[in-house]
Structure 1
Amino acid sequence: MAAPSPRPVVAVVGATATGKSALAVALAQRLGGEVVNADALQFYRGMDVGTAKVTEAERGGVPHHLLDVMDVTEEASVARFQEETRVLFTEIRGRGGTPILVGGSGLYVRAALDVLEFPPTDPAVRAALEAELETRGEAALRAELAAVDPESAAKVADARRLVRALEVHRITGRPFSAYMPRREYAAEAAPAVQLGLRLDRAALHERIAARVDAMVADGFLGEVRALADRGLREGPTASRAIGYREMLAVLDGELTLAEAAEQTVVATRRFARRQETWFRADPRVVWVDALDPTLVEHAVAAVAAAAASSPAAPTAPLD
């Protein structure tokens, strides 16, 4: 008898402030699931107010993974995240649970779910190529890349990417283009279903403004002040986060708190548009109305449909 298919990984995606975290908790409660964070900024300890990180009360007793796992001085790694999430998917399924991946960091979601291989790097090889760039010139390196990887040669637009493409080929013997992601669920994630939360642009803008106001009222500036004492400014990922860089400018006397809040709202709205563009480009995302009063029921039905269409149905019911 063939082994049954595992429970699907459920990814809750979409723009910031659409209610992803709340839906993830509700689904986990309904499906016997555990939440896996895919918001790169919520990896960081102490970055709570400015990332709208779910509190213990908001988690509703649901286990949450990959929250508060890094110091602000550390750099987030998509490759490491991929390894950790896929281990978690296996462990959660092994406990009979449903993995609920949640976050708006598009690349991290794809790394967790899709066939996405990260090409290696070698500082010595890169240094040699950078030296060749100086001595032989960009045209010679472009000709070399065109001979071994014409697809990448047609796309690279600057010397940095040119060096990177040649570095990968010299290390692996494979073209850099062979590492391009495919919209295909990896074996460790399949079966999977992506639920995208859809919200009218005007309503989303209102939510973003209200969220930033609430962050300021909840002590966002104090949070950033404390994190600055712990090395926030030196953090290659954390220091560039929307809101945090603006609050650092307040501490430096470059902005008023009101100006920082307004700039945070504007930057967050731009970021939300990029998130929407990213996720809408994926035809596999099942879109649901964030304001639908029966949102959870519709989401559960979408998960059940995905499970039923997988090669073999799960042994345990999904609701």
Structure 2
Amino acid sequence: MAAEPPIRAVLIAGPTASGKSALALALAERCGGVVANADASQVYADLRVLSARPSEADEARAPHALYGHVDAAEAYAVGRYLDDVHRVINRLSAGFEPGSQQAVEPGRVPIFVGGTGLYLEALTAGLAAVPAIPDEVRVRWRSFGPAAELHAELARRDPEMAARLRPTDPQRLIRALEVLEATGRSLARWQEEATRGPLDPAETLRIALAPDRAILRERIAARLDGMARDGAVEEAAKLDARSLDPALPAMKALGVRPLAAHARGEISLDEALERTRLDTGRYAKRQSTWFRNRMPGWLQAAPDEALELAIREIGRRGTAPPPLSRT
């Protein structure tokens, strides 16, 4: 039997508040890695507290990349994320810390960590190469109607794609309809022709945290209390004051709307935190379902066992720096 290839990258997934970031940092310190973000909210400069981004103290313990580098006014998405990942990999391959001219020792591997399933999936599976969608097509479908009507229209035009999507997911329903209109082909066909991701799954250690549900609920509540003490209300109020489009991804981040409502005097802090806690719990459940159903081949681990599992796998297979990636 052929030996397994060395590990050139590590992926760590898990629901919110499961301890992913702490695991990635501990692994980076033990193995000389670079922590790289794979969370759609943590890319935003405006959301350090609300997205639970690594603290400045954590960032001083190991190199970090792709955190807080996007303004909330930008509609950052997975395609741009992959472009940024290619640049990170190329910096490491060239022997430099991502985002600076600081040299790093050879052999450092990126440790991608986050809870955004699409980002994590695209790292190894790539993206469908869908052509650009004309603005008039985008505008038409974004003003078509509620999610139920969008799903009914998609079911009429493209039953296969409609069967893949939840009737309560307007963002993906709109995407499927606009691709169908602009290209004359189902998004399902485009997805079959996906481009390669920047990472080879055979050379990637992939770990999904599977925490106990009761413990996770306690961690979510404790983290929200800490966020409130650390300035989450002020952060939400500052973002609200910018009067940005509420459809922007940053404006839909967990906690932004209820805490901004509290800052405006519309609801109490207790109510804002309770709404955020419930939203976060539902989101964590969706994340866990995604990781279970969409990530075959990932190692499942309890949070308190994952570090030793990762170290054991790295010791068994060894590591190698990532090769140059396309830009």
For this structure pair, what is the TM-score category when the shorter chain's length is used for normalisation?
Answer: 0.7 to 0.9
285, 291, 299: which one pairs with 2:298? Answer: 285
Aligned residues: percent identity?
A: 34
User: Residues 181 and 246 of structure 1: is their aligned pair in 2 closer, same or farther, counting only changes over 3 Å?
Assistant: farther
Cα displacement (A) at 1:186: 3.7
Task: Tell me if structure 2 keeps the 8 A contact 1:7–1:97.
Answer: no
175, 180, 183: which one pairs with 1:169? Answer: 183
Task: Tell me if structure 1 keeps the 8 A contact 2:11–2:207.
Answer: yes
186, 194, 197: which one pairs with 2:206? Answer: 194
184, 187, 190: which one pairs with 1:179? Answer: 190
Task: Tell me if structure 1 keeps the 8 A contact 2:246–2:252.
Answer: no
Q: Does 1:221 align with 2:233?
A: yes
Task: Tell me if structure 1 keeps the 8 A contact 2:154–2:161.
Answer: no
Q: Does 1:212 align with 2:221?
A: no
Matches within 5 A, 1:146-161: 151-152=160-161, 160=174
Paired AA for residue 111 in structure 1: A
Match of 1:107 in 2: 118
User: Residues 84 and 278 of structure 1: is their aligned pair in 2 closer, same or farther, counting only changes over 3 Å?
Assistant: same
The TM-score, its normalising length taken from structure 2, stands at 0.77
How far, CA to CA, are the matches of 1:143 and 1:244 in structure 2? 33
How far, CA to CA, are the matches of 1:222 and 1:277 in structure 2? 32
Task: Tell me if structure 1 keeps the 8 A contact 2:10–2:204.
Answer: yes
SS at match of 1:287: strand
SS at match of 1:100: strand
How far, CA to CA, are the matches of 2:135 and 2:45 in structure 1? 34
Paired AA for residue 258 in structure 2: E
Task: Tell me if structure 2 keeps the 8 A contact 1:9–1:193.
Answer: yes
Consecutive unaligned residues of structure 1, counting only runs of 5 or more, are none
Match of 2:10 in 1: 10
How far, CA to CA, are the matches of 1:283 and 1:239 in structure 2? 32
Paired AA for residue 285 in structure 1: W
How far, CA to CA, are the matches of 2:247 and 2:176 in structure 1? 27
Matches within 5 A, 1:1-319: 7-95=7-95, 96-123=107-134, 126=137, 151-152=160-161, 160=174, 163-170=177-184, 175-180=186-191, 186=196, 188-190=198-200, 191-231=203-243, 234=246, 236-281=248-293, 282-292=295-305, 295-305=306-316, 307=317, 314=320
Deviation per CA, 1:208-251: give whole Å up to 9, x if none. 00111111122211122222334456571111111111111112
Task: Tell me if structure 2 keeps the 8 A contact 1:29–1:62.
Answer: yes
How far, CA to CA, are the matches of 2:218 and 2:188 in structure 1? 41
User: Residues 128 and 109 of structure 1: is their aligned pair in 2 closer, same or farther, counting only changes over 3 Å?
Assistant: closer
Task: Tell me if structure 2 keeps the 8 A contact 1:93–1:99.
Answer: no
Task: Tell me if structure 2 keeps the 8 A contact 1:42–1:48.
Answer: yes
SS at match of 1:259: helix
User: Residues 265 and 118 of structure 1: is their aligned pair in 2 closer, same or farther, counting only changes over 3 Å?
Assistant: farther
User: Residues 164 and 298 of structure 1: is their aligned pair in 2 closer, same or farther, counting only changes over 3 Å?
Assistant: same
Deviation per CA, 1:264-288: give whole Å up to 9, x if none. 1111111000010011111121112
Cα displacement (A) at 1:314: 3.8
Paired AA for residue 189 in structure 1: L
How far, CA to CA, are the matches of 2:70 and 2:136 in structure 1? 30
Task: Tell me if structure 1 keeps the 8 A contact 2:137–2:181.
Answer: yes
SS at match of 1:116: coil
Match of 2:99 in 1: none
Consecutive unaligned residues of structure 2, counting only runs of 5 or more, are 96-106, 145-149, 323-327
Task: Tell me if structure 2 keeps the 8 A contact 1:118–1:179.
Answer: yes
Cα displacement (A) at 1:81: 0.5
Q: 53-62 or 257-266, which moves further after superposition?
A: 53-62
Deviation per CA, 1:283-305: give whole Å up to 9, x if none. 1211121123xx42221223455
User: Residues 179 and 250 of structure 1: is their aligned pair in 2 closer, same or farther, counting only changes over 3 Å?
Assistant: same
How far, CA to CA, are the matches of 1:185 and 1:30 in structure 2? 33
Whose radius of gyration is greater, 1 or 2? 1
Task: Tell me if structure 2 keeps the 8 A contact 1:129–1:163.
Answer: no
How far, CA to CA, are the matches of 2:247 and 2:140 in structure 1? 28
